[in-house]
């Protein structure tokens, strides 16, 4: 499953207001496409990392791009940066 698909499912199943959402398996193809569009918009919005995210990748001190990516996302999730 791609990151885009995981994000779409997460938004669907959580709901925007934090309440329980819908089961991915129980919604229509059109609704799934809408959640995918929402997830794509979020990914496009965070495409350019903040300074804090860039610093986290550098601080990871690893050549493992996945570890650097996780560090950047963790930095973005902490304190809404």
For 29-58, the DSSP string reads HHHHHHHHHHHHHHHHHTSSPPHHHHHHHH
Token reading at 47: 């495409």
Read off the pLDDT band of 40 (50, 70, 90): very high
**The pLDDT of residue 61:** 86
Choose the weakest-confidence range: 14-18, 28-32, 73-77: 14-18
* Region of residue 50 (left: phi > 0; alpha: psi -120 to 50; beta: else): beta
Distance CA 53, CA 65 (A): 13
Report yes or no: 64 and 45 within 8 Å, Cβ to Cβ.
no
pLDDT at position 80 over 70: no
Read off the pLDDT band of 54 (50, 70, 90): very high
């Amino acid at each position: 499953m791609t990151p885009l698909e995981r994000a779409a499912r997460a938004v669907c199943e959580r709901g925007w207001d934090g309440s329980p959402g819908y089961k991915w398996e129980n919604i229509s193809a059109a609704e799934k496409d809408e959640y995918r569009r929402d997830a794509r918009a979020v990914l496009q919005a965070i495409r350019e990392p903040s300074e804090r995210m860039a610093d986290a990748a550098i601080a990871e001190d690893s050549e493992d791009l996945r570890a650097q990516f996780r560090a950047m996302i963790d930095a973005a999730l902490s304190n809404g940066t």
